[in-house]
Structure 1
Amino acid sequence: MRRRGIARSDVVWVSMAIALVVAAIVVPITMGDALRGRIFAGAAPLFGQWNPHVGPGSIPAVVIAVAAVMLLPGWASRLRWRTLTITVWVTAVTWTLSLALIDGWQRGIAGRLVRPDEYLSEVPGVHSIPGMLATFSDRILDHQPDSWTTHVSGHPPGALITFVWLDRLGLGGGGWAGIWCVLTGCSALVAVMVTLRNLGAEDWARRAAPFLALFPGLVWVGVSADGYFMAVAAWGVAFVAMATQRRGLAAAASGLLGGAFLGFSIFLNYGLVLIGFVVLAVLISARTARPLLLAVPAALAVVGVFRAFGFWWFDGYRLVVDRYYQGIASIRPFAYWGWANIAATLFAVGPAVPAGLGRIFGSRMWRHPVALLALGGLVAILAADLSALSKAETERIWLGFSLWTMVSTALLPVHRQRVWLCAQVAVALVVNHLVLTYW
């Protein structure tokens, strides 16, 4: 009876998620141009255009997904830890690339980050990184002769600096930038597993591993810079988790790295300050705040370096809010996006996450690492939504938070994992074949 009741709970939570997604699709259609002309999302709630298509990645994407669904649940419990983490990363990388190649090499990978509104269009104009930082804030607002492009102006300078560094290392152009985002972005899945293991939940990390490898959000990791942002923040959390368990120099190094990664993450995306909810979840789970003794100074040191070169984070944030409402955000209605944002995010996490979260809410395991991390990600999503600074495109923008809700999939019954994994990969494959996503 208990098992039957839990299954019924899964159905209820997934049904509510599906209802929200259906409503987000149907409402713009039924409301006509009065709403469609203001939401600026051709495949609402996703940012893209309806365009059924296949490509060179179609068959590999299906083959990799089928193989992973069949093999990963068994491997997750049997493989050595290091082998498992490598397997998860390799599976995620190959599947992400195959998903991106459904749109072809140029449209799916090499051309994503070279559009006029993207980061790489500004790289040739950066002759001096210190000089760029000194004047970065002056160019955030729109309607100026030297205003930054949309993505550069909407983010702190860390993202642009990264692509400038890649260019100077001889890895310039959209192809290398796309590969960088995929390789780093997929490493975030390993960071989640490492976090769980360091919180004494290795068995749960293994149970979540197949779901992480087939994370539907990988559709947007391949290719958007937000996949890279997600990874930097995730490794920051993982290093903090390591610092809770280690002693001596190892703990100090982990704490410093955690702070440095987290500090740099907020110079990639202003919204990643909300990753603090996940960090808090780690500290509560470990029942210690000791890592903060070095993590906080390390993070502040990163802030200090940027300030020394002329960029003050708070000035940038204030100006980016103004810039945000200089564009289509002033037209996009929050009355729709306030809830449709969640529907868009459901495409990135798949139906297994609502089921997993439902099991948390229906249990008494609130202090378990799985519950705390998943709820930390969920709270970050809700806070980002309430800020009204993420109207649309949240399937991409919130990857850094959505990732942590994925740990809730560890609560799903092992004997039903393949069923849930089929649902997860179906979401990603359907989205990439029916919608021409902007990223």
Structure 2
Amino acid sequence: MSDWRAILDQNAFDFSRSGSTDARLNRLIEQRRHLVGPTAMLFYDEPLQLVKGEGVWLYDSAGKRYLDAYNNVPVLGHCHPRVMDAVTAQMSQLNIHTRYLDDALHRYAQQLLSTLPLKQGRLVMTCTGSEANDLALRLARLHTGQQGVIVSAAAYHGNTQAVTDVSPSSLKRGQVPAYVACIDLEPLNTEGIDASAYLDQQVEAAIAQLQRDGYGCAAFLVDSIFSSDGVYADPPGMLKAAAARVQRAGGLLIADEVQPGFGRTGSNLWGFDRHQLSPDIVTFGKPMGNGYPVAALAADETLLAELAEVSGYFNTFGGSSVAVAAAQAVLDTLDEEALQANALSTGNRLKQGLQGLAEHYEPLSHVRGAGLFIGVDIVSSEDPTRPDSVLCSRIVNGLRQRGVLIGAAGRYGNVLKIRPPLCFNHDHAQHLLDALEQVMAQDLIRR
């Protein structure tokens, strides 16, 4: 894959090549084609019709069970009873927006804000991470008077116009706007590289570019596990110098915790903590409600007061009674079920197993990640320096046929992305490893 923008299509079903032997599936595909817009893609070479979820397992319409090692939204596991009970109980009593006093919202905000390093932290509730990141950019630009934003080269931060413009991986053609400066993470795979110094140099150059072009630096918007770029997590602390440079230049540090947050990295509740960062703004999304649409932004009161003087912000469904009930259940259950510790333990076991497989199969290269967010580079057997997106897709679809669901990521679409619910345990990890070895043994030559 020569153009990294094709990552958008790497996980997608190709409607032009549909031709399953299952007549019922073909009918569903045709209905999808005619009733749902072409911007909504399906996964895998043969799409799945899922009808049930429980824990780390998903079930299709034929009753086949799939191990979910991909979906981070159900962070506690699919259909967790604690969330279902909380949402059902609240829905049967009241569901209203935030223009009325709500003790539950206050309790949740206090509990979440207590985990953040903000001096006078305040919480703004939204429905999606896209909305939270959109608002974060508004705050940063208003506060700094600048327009420029620094992101990683294959970043994804949402789908409003403002955040699509700073999400290079969303573009199939053209370039990001001139006020967006991208840092390249691919050299982090180089053995012996000083990751901290390299990232600091990249950000220094990005700031200089934005200032030279007259945009200035409003913010460094960062997903600290670099999920869309192919999962770059180590070493801890590698972003500290780069983040400090942005803040010295007058820009704000926006920590996008949609991917690394809520204990996924195992060592910390938040991804930015793993790198010893002090963000000015923190955004949350996807796993926050375990499948119920709830997201948020946290920032110091002074930043939000500046916006309030200009326009304020209200989100009809952000912070609704039911959304808060779901979010509270997630926060409580993460602690009660020790899921962060499980992410660390199981993630280490999974990485060790993947590294073991990489010793036997040439295309498996550069196993990396933190907790239960792991990436594995897939490279050509003939040339280990060449990313192999075609083989990556074969592996992803081979696992799907064997009842294990993962995805692909990375600048060249050649990174296996493993990101299961945090209740994923050692037995589940072994199940995934066994399935991957079967795929590799069937399709590929061992070292």
TM-score higher than 0.5? no
With normalisation by structure 1, the TM-score equals 0.33
Q: As a proportion of its length, which structure holds more strand?
A: 2
Q: As a proportion of its length, which structure holds more helix?
A: 1
